[in-house]
Amino acid sequence: MVAQKDDRKFSVLIAGGGSTYTPGIVLTLLNGLDKFPLRKLKFYDNDGERQKKIADATAILVKERAPEVEFEATTDPKEAFTDVDFVMAQIRVGKYAMRSLDEKIPLKHGVVGQETTGPGGIAYGLRSIPGVIQLVDYMEKYSPNAWMLNYSNPAAIVAEATRRERPNSKIINICDMPIDIMDRMAAILGFKDRNDLVFRYYGLNHFGWWTDVRDKQGNDLMPKLKKYVAKNGYWVGGDYDANTEKSWEETFKKAADVYKLDPSTLPNTYLKYYLYPSWVVKHSNPNYTRTDEVEAHRQKLVFGECKRIVEAGTAKDTEFKPDEHSTYIVDLCTAIAYNTHQRMLAIIPNEGAISNIDPTATVEVPCLFGSNGPERLSMGKAATFQQGMITEQNSVEKLAVDAWQEHSYTKLWEAFSLCKIVPDAGIAKDILDDMVVANKDYWPELK
């Protein structure tokens, strides 16, 4: 549905303005002013020094490309959250120093070390919960009619926590990984992008499957996609993947093996951590993880480009580009603002969307987005394999939130032990004890 234009212009706050993803979001917003007009763009971050590096470059970018848009960056919550229509939340509590420990501590014990899955993801989740809830409270206090699009990780645990703690809040938890994969599907098929695809998908965040992919004329695209994925995974190669980092290349290619477990569906790439954990550990360097790769590559490039823009006094030749992460977020804002009922994914309470899964589970399914937020679509029953995996992983996520709410060591040990990635309760306890020490400044005191 095409957005019906009116004379409104919107105020957007990026919470986590110091993120390396912020320039991509800004560019997407500026490139899309014809369909989602802005009157104001704000940054908020509790690390003013880090945010300033991004904000100083953004100020130049906005002045050159959209001087009519007011821009400001602040560390003051009242100033940030007053007079906003949409909050785009992308915080990382503990920053890269804690992400590094999320990855390296499990690997020390021979277990997958990853920021959103397994013990690392649970540890990160307990840090993220209070941070995201604080943002929700700021929004409700200063701009109660605003919507928050939260893509702070790990989205599954955050979504479960906000479902319990702030059930009536206008927060929508989202993830860009399926979006990236669907853009890859479009490239494989020779289409422009994911918006050319009509899909059915179900699962949890970083834990789902496509059951149907068609074009807008209703033609079944699954046979062609399956044939490709069985051989190549989601790796496209060529110019498409010219700047893709090595660890992501391995992930996209490994999807070929994940697909073989259920050739009736197409998998999310993150399932490799649950279904091939021994392979992942074998191919991991416990002393150089994804965090080190990001700091050496993405972070260096982003902050380097920001510095160059500021020193040059112009962003006319900037190397920053929009990406799937940012285009998806802006598409969601546009759908809500103009009530377009566009079909997109969200992480929401199940309430029957997957009929044989706990109705209180926070599942990831297609929704129609309009002025009242997401309207979930029914995906029917999960197959036995998927039902078993979803039920187990959802229990892990629920136990993690139980542990945060109750300050319970035992509940957190149960969460670590139940996680498919962890081989037994003894190893789970060893990892947990190390994590308790590492997170002493962020977690509640466990009893």
Q: List active site positions.
A: 176, 270
Name the residue with tokens 């190669």. 237
Q: Residue 78 contacts by C-beta under 8 Å, 6 or more apart in sequence?
A: 142
Going by C-alpha positions, the residue among 393, 350, 394, 357 that lies closest to residue 374 is 350
Gap between the Cα atoms of 104 and 107, Å rounded: 5
Contact 15, 89 (CB under 8 A): yes
CA 369 to CA 132: how far, in whole Å? 22
Was 153 annotated as part of a binding site? yes
- The Cα 189–Cα 182 span in angstroms is 10
6 phi and psi angles, rounded to 5 deg: -140, -165
- Return the C-alpha torsion angle 54, 59, 63, 68, nearest 10: 110
Q: Where are the alpha helices (DSSP H) in 196-323?
A: 222-232, 246-260, 272-275, 277-282, 290-296, 298-312
Among 245, 363, 368, 367, CA closest to 299: 245
299: tokens are: 């972070």
Measured CA distances, 373 to 38, 133, 170, 367 (Å) = 20, 19, 8, 9
The rounded distance, in Å, linking the Cα atoms of 199 and 185 is 11
Residue 285 annotated as lining a ligand binding site: no
In sequence order, which residues have a C-beta less than 8 Å from that of residue 403 and are 6 or more positions away?
126, 409, 411, 412, 415, 446
Is 99 part of any known ligand binding site? yes
Q: What is the 3-state secondary structure (H, E, C) of 405-424?
A: HHCCHHHHHHHHHHCCCCCC
Say how far apart CA 405 and CA 263 lie, in whole Å.
39
- In contact, 375 and 367? CB cutoff 8 Å: yes
Estimate the crossing angle of helix 222-232 against helix 246-260, to 10 degrees: 120
Residue 215 · residue 191 · CB < 8 Å? yes
> What is the rounded distance in angstroms from the CA atom of residue 171 to the CA atom of residue 86?
10
Binding residues for substrate: 99, 153, 290
Binding residues: 99, 153, 175, 206, 290
Binding residues for Mn(2+): 175, 206
